[in-house]
Amino acid sequence: MTRTPGRVRELVVAILLVAGCGGSAPTSSMPAAATSSAGAGTPATTAVTFEPSNPSGPAVGTWRQTASMSVARKLHTATLLPDGKVLVAGGMDSDDDASFKSLASAELYDPGRGTWSATGSMLHPRAWHTATLLPNGLVLVAGGQCPGLYEKTCPAVEDPSGAMPDAELYDPKTGTWTATGSMISPRFQHTATLLADGRVLAAGAELAPDLFIAATELYDPATGRWTATGDLLTARWQHFAVGLPDGGALVAGGYGATSPTTHALVNSVELYGPGTGAWRAGSPLLVARAQGGAAALLKTGRVLIAGGDGGGDHMLAAAELYDPATGTRATGAMSTTRAELSSAMLADGRVLAVGGFDVPGTGKLLSSAELYDPSTGAWRSAGAMHWARFDFTATLLADGRVLVTGGSAIAADHVVSAADGVSPWAEIYSP
């Protein structure tokens, strides 16, 4: 789906009307045949059956509430810093098109104390941006959306979507932000992938309805500048992106341009070679899907891709493992369909998928969580959060726990706790 503030608002209203939270552990479902869509020159793939994992036995791990953020926010970023604290920055404070604001504020979570403290605000408010911890300990925030239609605090944004090219750096030692080189192209809902050489690869964006960009660019921390690199074979956004052990990157799925004025969900995969600065086609995904699912580089070198938007308000439970050398194969599916979930890879290599929503049938906003075990290819229940939520963050802490923050949320008792549904609430998962 195209994630605009209005589209998200419609979804929230629909969810609140059914008031389903998914407060219990995920339930099993029957296997379903999933046929991927084709687009942008990608041939259609054959139907593939994904077996749900049917989690059994007691849930793995526990959830507990921790201190709330000082500000309700969604579509923010959360970055683990070298000292173990978590930097939360930006986002939106409302689902309402008439009143939402992009935020410049930032705050720090101290896992040892379980408390939040204020830190310096960003130079510009933004949401749908990216945040990347650089090898030098600074945090690079790039792009995002700041709709000037509603705010006088936005920088001069010429793109009608509100997409920004601006980038800035956070210094944990001083708690301050400084401007760095702006991207060549304004972007929001793009991806920023840290490469093995310390550079950051930015890819994808939609600058206007059905206007996707294929241009990609590299940020060099040594110079503070962005430089153009090879164009994607298919212009796309809401795709998955993962850095690979060979120093390159993988981009998969999303919505791709099929003509200058149209787009479709795609299953195509592209691989970036840092030595050549060029993209080459990889074997396609089994199922076309867009961002909002989980993507993680496993210790085996394979990439797990699970859930996400399957197009036309069809959410996915299917999961697959992508091997850059040999292509993809199916693995155990999640027990429920999920989109706009958050995920984190645990220290032992398991992957936590949590929250999101399931539109088909019930329209549930989910509080449930599940764990993927690469050694078995199966998912197991990881209990449930205290709030069902989406557009939130899940961050692995240095001690192995996972911090969940903000998002559009509903309390587990089905009572809407905020008029617009955006929350300051945080909680901790202990594996």
CATH number at residue 188: 2.120.10.80
User: In this predicted structure, what is the pLDDT of residue 38?
Assistant: 37
Grade residue 155 by pLDDT with cuts at 50, 70 and 90: low
The 3 state secondary structure assigned to 48-64 is EEECECCCCCCCCCEEE
Dihedral angle over CA of 146, 78, 333, 28, nearest 10: -100
DSSP string computed for 11-71: HHHHHHHHT----SPPPP---EEE-----TTPPPPPPEEE-B----SSPSSEEEEEPPPSS
Specify the pLDDT at position 100: 66
Q: How many CB atoms are closer than 10 A to CB 412?
A: 16
CA atoms within 13 A on the CB side of 87: 31
Q: Strands, DSSP E only, in 195-239?
A: 200-203, 206-208, 211-212, 216-220, 225-229, 236-237
Q: What is the mean pLDDT of residues 234-239?
A: 94
What is the residue range of 121's domain? 5-430
pLDDT at 316 (0 to 100) = 95
Model pLDDT, residue 18: 30
Would you state the structure tokens that stand for residue 135, as one six-digit string? 């090898």
List the structure tokens of 110: 């101290």
**Higher model confidence: residue 128 or residue 208?**
128
First CA to last CA distance, the chain:
32
Residues in the chain: 431
* Residues 287-297: tens digit of each pLDDT: 999 988 999 99
pLDDT at 23: 32
Alpha-carbon Rg of the chain, whole angstroms?
A: 20
pTM score, whole prediction: 0.86
Question: Above 90 in pLDDT, residue 162?
Answer: no
Backbone angles phi, psi at 226, to 5 degrees: -100, 140
Q: Report pLDDT for 57.
A: 63
Taking the alpha carbons of 202, 90, 353, 205 in that order, is the dihedral positive or negative?
Answer: negative
pLDDT of residue 262: 80
Number of compact structural domains in the chain = 1
By the 10 Å C-beta count (0-12 exposed, 13-18 middle, 19+ buried), 174 is classed as exposed
Give pairs for 25-32: CB < 8 Å, separation 24+.
Answer: 25/55, 25/59, 25/368, 25/381, 25/383, 25/384, 26/55, 26/334, 26/335, 26/336, 26/368, 26/370, 26/381, 27/335, 27/336, 28/52, 28/54, 28/55, 28/335, 29/317, 29/335, 29/336, 29/337, 31/333
Q: In which band, very low, low, confident or very high, does the pLDDT at 258 lie, cut at 50, 70 and 90?
A: confident
Q: What is the Cα–Cα distance from 100 to 420, expressed in whole angstroms?
A: 9
Please tell me the predicted confidence (pLDDT) of residue 261: 76
pLDDT digits (tens, 9 = 90+) for 110-122: 999 999 999 999 9
- Identify the pLDDT of residue 416: 40
- Collapsed DSSP state (helix, strand, coil) of residue 97: coil
- Choice between 24 and 337, residue whose per-residue pLDDT is larger: 337
Measured CA to CA, the distance from residue 198 to residue 328 in angstroms comes to 28
Separation of alpha carbons 220 and 134, rounded Å: 10
What are the pLDDT digits (tens) for 279-327?
999 999 999 999 889 999 999 999 999 999 998 778 999 999 999 999 9
